[in-house]
A and B are shown apart, each in its own frame.
Chain A
Amino acid sequence: SQQGEEDPQALSIQEGENATMNCSYKTSINNLQWYRQNSGRGLVHLILIRSNEREKHSGRLRVTLDTSKKSSSLLITASRAADTASYFCATKASGGSNYKLTFGKGTLLTVNP
């Protein structure tokens, strides 16, 4: 089954606006992480939220986690053109095989100057 389904698949906003991306998953998790990937580049780790946490902040990033709904959201406030990238959520399972990340297909965010 596909873990970490993000929506929307693509999001286009103006600089200065906030961007919200959502992620759903199917199984029990140890933690959920968000990564950014600029076009043709590697992944950059943004933030990790544990299954017993509900909200976490890092700079302009705010992540929420609702384990009862098996969903998470990533909010980027006051977006900049440099935030243009694909954003992926990835989960680590609770229990066995909790070393591997299971990724969704990502949200392509375009921030227009």
Chain B
Amino acid sequence: NAGVMQNPRHLVRRRGQEARLRCSPVKGHSHVYWYRQLPEEGLKFMVYLQKENIIDESGMPKERFSAEFPKEGPSILRIQQVVRGDSAAYFCASSPTSSAADTQYFGPGTRLTVL
């Protein structure tokens, strides 16, 4: 029973390039969440998606960031024109429903470094 998969695990980009982070949820989970962790900090909620729908993107910067969870394939977090401040660990989590009682299962994260 595979858990949440994220790739790549490490990503290095130069300022101005694009970063694409992928997340495959636990099989059968249709609810995906992205969180960002800055160094020495806790995780901060970015966006919550269900299949083909963005439910809550209140934690995601309005510019340069976008997320999708298509009918087929992984969820993608896309950061355009990266800046040094985007350097962080990005974690994806999934759950079977949106119930508050559900545990969110986390992937290993993608560590983005912007040079």
Q: Do A and B truly interact?
A: yes
* Interface residues, chain A, with chain B CB atoms under 8 Å away: 4, 30-31, 33, 35, 40-45, 48, 50, 88, 90, 92-94, 97-106
The answer to whether A43 and B106 touch (CB under 8 A), given A88-B42, A97-B56, A99-B98, is: yes
List CB contacts (< 8 Å) of B80-105 with chain A.
Answer: 91, 93, 95, 98-101, 103-105
Count B interface residues, CB 8 Å.
Answer: 29
Are B48 and A42 touching (Cβ within 8 A)? Answer: no
Are B43 and A88 touching (Cβ within 8 A)? Answer: yes
- How many residue pairs between the two chains, A and B, have CB atoms under 8 Å in the bound complex? 67
Are B43 and A100 touching (Cβ within 8 A)? Answer: no
The 5 closest A-B pairs by CB, nearest first: A103-B42, A98-B100, A30-B100, A42-B108, A43-B106
B21-49 interface bits toward A, Cβ cutoff 8 Å, 1 = contact, 0 = none: 00000000001010100001111110010
Q: Enumerate chain B residues within 8 angstroms of A101, measured Cβ to Cβ.
A: 33, 35, 43, 45, 93, 104
Shortest Cβ distance from A30 into chain B, in angstroms? 4
Q: Enumerate chain B residues within 8 angstroms of A102, measured Cβ to Cβ.
A: 45
Are B100 and A99 touching (Cβ within 8 A)? Answer: yes
Q: Contacting A45 at CB < 8 Å: which of B44, B105, B107, B111?
A: B105
Are B98 and A105 touching (Cβ within 8 A)? Answer: no
Q: Enumerate chain B residues within 8 angstroms of A35, measured Cβ to Cβ.
A: 106
Shortest Cβ distance from A72 into chain B, in angstroms? 15
A sample of 15 inter-chain contacts (CB < 8 A) reads A42-B4, A42-B107, A43-B43, A43-B93, A43-B106, A45-B103, A93-B100, A98-B100, A99-B48, A99-B95, A100-B45, A100-B59, A101-B43, A101-B93, A104-B42
